[in-house]
Chain A
Amino acid sequence: MFNIPTHSFYMMIFVVILLVTGSLIRWRLQVKNPQTDYLELKQRIQSWWWMIGILFGILLAPTTISIIFFALLSFLALKEFFSIMPTRQADRRILLWAYLAIPLQYYWVASNWYGMFLIFIPIYVFLFLPMRAVFIGETKGFIRSLGTIHWAVMLSVLCVSHIAYLLQLPVKNEQAGALGLVLFLIFITQFNDVCQYIWGKTLGKHKIIPKVSPKKTWEGFIGGVITVTLISGFVAPYLTPLTMVQGFVAGTLIAISGFVGDVVISSVKRDLAIKDSGTLIPGHGGLLDRIDSLIYTAPLFFHFLYYLHY
């Protein structure tokens, strides 16, 4: 159908069934307890429909359009970072140059220039931005500003662009196609968020890092890692070139790094004393609140896969 590789098509159907189930459960909750206000849950599920709808639409579109979409995602993420993090008035032009890194980085992705894609931000942008700042001439707060800016570019441009590059890798699992890799990464990452949440809610007792994220527990973390590792092992051969054993390892990698991404962004927000990074996604908060784990899982999964199969 629509020329979608069969395995990826079934995966999409499966995700839609999950969403329908979620919507039905919320609807039944509302009918059973008419007094309770489920507005936030309703918004969350509605936003999930939007996000999944947009993602699937983008993945089915020609690759160039998918790449432009991920560039837009990087832009929105970087903008959110720059809007909440302290930067000086003198940094405005440096921030503008940082934004310009996005079209270039995604151009390397679109033109399949792997070497440049890897080094552009950690070397060229890294060396260029301080030089530009020197010509502005404001030295007060120089170190902090430049450190912050480069860190934000690494997370929201370099890390996120790895998702787009998955689409450029030669197809090795014909039945899943290039989009199978992206579906796998995003599904397992989000599934991990949900698993850690559910395990934490049901069994959680011992806090992992109470100063950063008081709700995160060892039980939630370990439960999540085990569940995700198992599921990933069974899904990986279906959607990616990975074998089952490699799938187990990929699952563990995604579960642990997803957790780390989550708490890293939490630390940023805690430092700034804000609850959410924005209001882009109703019921979820900002874009960074949603893709925090993906920022960490995307490059790690990419290089794990690349090392083994490309």
Chain B
Amino acid sequence: MNRFLKILFFALLVKPMVLLGLGLNVFFKAKLPKQGPAIVVANHNSHLDTLVLMSLYPLSQIHKIRPVAAADYFLKNKLLAWFSLNIIGIIPMQRKHIRDTSVLFAQCHRALDDGDILLLFPEGSRGKPEQLSDLKRGVHHLIKSRETLKVVPVMMHGLGKALPKGEMIFVPFNCDVVVGDAIPFNSDAKCYIDSVSDALTLLLTLCMTRQSVVKDDLE
């Protein structure tokens, strides 16, 4: 039943909105992992990021795409929690009071074992519009026991203008989605995170809308 609702939600709402309200310039879509287990690491500027990434997948596969999202935000009330867990299918992640990483990532590991594709936003928060914040090291905890796991970087640009943090009103913009090459494994967490960061920065140069941002005092 929930899977049916999920397909309806993406077929009738998300996909048409992404097509008409946004409009995507997708580059190198073929590099996206088609089957799990795999991880997609992307930059994060808007709630739309998750929906856009999921909309790139066919409806038949959408239940295999699992965004990892902050538990304190998405589970804060019953309705939002139901929607996040059942319609979007998030894996809730505790952002605070982290003691035991194996407990923290247990659900992620289970999903990967099931052959799901995880969407991770290593910036941890949406941050300022169209700026890449420092990346958290969580991804590395997740992959250090899975050296062969495919981790694909995706840079999105423009969504922080369409619906930035703290704004309720959506404004139509074309957005870039650039998929990069899989990131090679490195046992050193810092080196690994740096290579993710470098990959995302490189992909940004391919974005058509990259010139459209003007700094102003409202930031």
Contact = CB atoms under 8 A, between A and B. Distances in A.
A82 B173 contact: yes
B171 A276 contact: no
Given A76-B23, A84-B212, A89 B171 contact: no
Contacts of B158: 83
Interface of A: 75-76, 79-80, 82-90, 92-93, 95-96, 99, 138, 140-141, 145, 272-274, 276-280
Contacts of A79: 23, 172-174
A87 B213 CA distance: 6
Given A79-B23, A83-B158, A99-B172, A278 B208 contact: yes
A83 B174 contact: yes
Interface stretch (B92-100, B102-110, B161-169): B161-169
B173 A141 contact: no
B216 interface: yes
A274 B208 contact: yes
Contact of B129 (A76, A89, A93, A279): A89
B26 A279 contact: yes
Given A76-B23, A83-B175, A138 B209 contact: no
Interface residues of B, number: 26
Interface string B19-42: 000011111000000000000000
Interface string B188-219: 00000000000000000000110111101111
Contacts of A86: 211-214
A90 B216 contact: yes
Interface in B19-76: 23-27
B25 A138 contact: no
A171 B212 CA distance: 44
A233 B178 CA distance: 48
Contacts of A140: 216-217
A92 B171 contact: yes
Contact of B216 (A84, A89, A96, A274): A89
Contacts of B208: 83-84, 274, 276-279
B174 A92 contact: no
Which of A83, A86, A140 counts the most B-chain CB atoms under 10 A from its CB?
A83
Given A95-B171, A96-B169, A96-B171, A83 B209 contact: yes
B169 A145 contact: no
A90 B209 contact: no
B29 to A, nearest CB: 11
Given A88-B218, A272-B211, A279-B25, 14 more contacts: A79-B172, A83-B209, A88-B216, A89-B213, A90-B216, A92-B171, A93-B171, A99-B172, A140-B216, A140-B217, A145-B214, A274-B211, A276-B208, A279-B26
